[in-house]
């Protein structure tokens, strides 16, 4: 069986739900609702998050968007092992989540910090799962070092 990217597998799952509804002889509306339901169910939400994290990893730590998003947070991990970094990010995520809940109750609050920490949590945990300790230190060094300016000639 050939390998398909996660995006393709996600679309195929929605098509299979429609095909199953079609095989049961359901109406076109029910078939469409089955496909929509499969495309936006909990599995699709989880897959969407995984797709986003895979894109982050594919871009690499020197990508400007990743530097902008994770640079400040990566600085707090300097000098820590991968396991210590995971514990630190987990603790910060819990603190930020509590602060966001309080701010939301008072009518304010922004989710950006929570989203950055959530992405970092998953990336770091994935790196630990895949035993990417060396890549972690390389990525941390790339994120923490200021970008070098290139002179236009």
The most confident of 50-54, 80-84, 112-116, 126-130, by mean pLDDT: 80-84
CA distances from 144 to 60, 62, 66, 69, 72 (A): 13, 10, 11, 12, 8
What local confidence, expressed as pLDDT, does residue 2 receive? 67
Angle 91-83-100 from CA coordinates, rounded to 5°: 20
User: What pTM was computed for the model?
Assistant: 0.68
Percent of the chain with pLDDT over 90: 31
pLDDT band per the 50, 70, 90 thresholds, residue 58: confident
Q: How far apart are CA 147 and CA 100, in angstroms?
A: 32
Q: How far apart are CA 126 and CA 72, in angstroms?
A: 21
Q: How far apart are CA 24 and CA 38, in angstroms?
A: 16
pLDDT tens profile 2-34: 667 888 888 888 899 999 999 999 999 999 999
């Amino acid at each position: 069986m050939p390998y398909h990217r996660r995006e393709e597998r996600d679309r195929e799952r929605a098509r299979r739900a429609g095909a199953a509804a079609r095989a049961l002889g359901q109406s076109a509306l029910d078939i469409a609702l089955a496909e929509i339901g499969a495309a936006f169910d909990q599995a699709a939400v989880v897959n969407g998050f995984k797709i986003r994290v895979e894109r982050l990893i594919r871009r690499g730590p020197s990508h400007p968007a990743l530097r902008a998003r994770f640079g400040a947070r990566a600085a707090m991990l300097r000098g820590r092992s991968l396991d210590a970094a995971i514990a630190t990010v987990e603790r910060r995520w819990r603190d930020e989540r509590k602060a966001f809940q309080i701010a939301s109750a008072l009518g304010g609050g922004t989710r950006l910090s929570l989203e950055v920490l959530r992405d970092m949590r998953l990336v770091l945990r994935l790196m630990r799962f895949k035993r990417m300790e060396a890549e972690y230190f390389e990525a941390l060094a790339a994120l923490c070092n200021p970008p070098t300016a290139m002179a236009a000639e």
